[in-house]
A and B are shown apart, each in its own frame.
Chain A
Amino acid sequence: ILNVEQSPQSLHVQEGDSTNFTCSFPSSNFYALHWYRWETAKSPEALFVMTLNGDEKKKGRISATLNTKEGYSYLYIKGSQPEDSATYLCAPESSGYALNFGKGTSLLVTP
């Protein structure tokens, strides 16, 4: 089981603020890093799957970077909106093992 740390645990920002979260994971046996968004009363939804060191992916106002050598990924949200309020989960993938999720970062964006 891969030990996954996410920080901060929770975050409260104002509409329009930009924010970022961190996901730390062991760098050995690394295959991929997954990011998911989980809104209340919905199911977790995949945001990104990243594999290469230095990878950067973008989806609208959300982007993510990956450093496999030091074992961390950042998720950025530019100009946060209330609809971005959700729990953001990361999960590293290694050979032969199912995804092991972190505890998540709970984001609240208020108008």
Chain B
Amino acid sequence: DTGVSQDPRHKITKRGQNVTFRCDPISEHNRLYWYRQTLGQGPEFLTYFQNEAQLEKSRLLSDRFSAERPKGSFSTLEIQRTEQGDSAMYLCASSLEDTNSPLHFGNGTRLTVT
């Protein structure tokens, strides 16, 4: 069981720079989710894919955020022109398509914007 992997584990960047994170889901999972977690909060939903289709995107997500899953396997999350408020843990999760399937999370990418 290779689990969900995320890269990098940590990223420090200067305000205004672009960053990209990668998530490799469990191979047989066709759903992939991105969440963001800040101190004292639960994971906040950003977006999710079923295969290569992006089915839902949070209204809280600014235009600076974009996610792709071009071949229905790995996914990337890009943040353009980073701001200090973007500092957070970015979590990726995958699941089977069935309703009631639990999410399997990666270890996350910790972003610090200075």
Given the known A-B contacts A32-B100, A93-B99, A103-B40, are A44 and B105 also in contact in the complex, defined by CB atoms under 8 Å? yes
- Please, which residue of chain B has its CB at the minimum distance from the CB of A99? B103
| CA of A45 to CA of B106, assembled, Å | 10
B40-77 residues at the A interface, CB under 8 angstroms: 40-45, 48, 56
Category for how many chain A residues contact B: 20 to 34
User: Total number of A-B contacts with CB less than 8 angstroms?
Assistant: 55
A residues near B33, Cβ cutoff 8 Å: 98-99
Given A32-B100, A34-B102, A46-B103; A100-B45 close (CB under 8 Å): yes
Task: Say whether B100 contacts A51, CB under 8 Å.
Answer: yes
**A43 and B105 in contact, given A98-B33, A102-B42 (Cβ under 8 angstroms):** yes
Within 8 A of A (CB), among B1-60: 4, 33, 35, 40-45, 48, 56
What class of interface size applies to chain B in its complex with A?
20 to 34
With contact pairs A43-B108, A98-B33 given, residues A89 and B103 touching in the complex (Cβ less than 8 Å): no
Q: Which residues of B contact A34 (CB under 8 A)?
A: 102-103
Main secondary structure of the interface of A (DSSP, over half): loop
Q: Which residues of B lie under 8 Å from residue A103 when comparing CB positions?
A: 40-42
Are A99 and B100 closer than 8 Å at their CB atoms? no
A contact residues vs B (CB 8 Å cutoff): 1, 4, 6, 31-32, 34, 36, 42-46, 49, 51, 89, 91, 93, 96-104
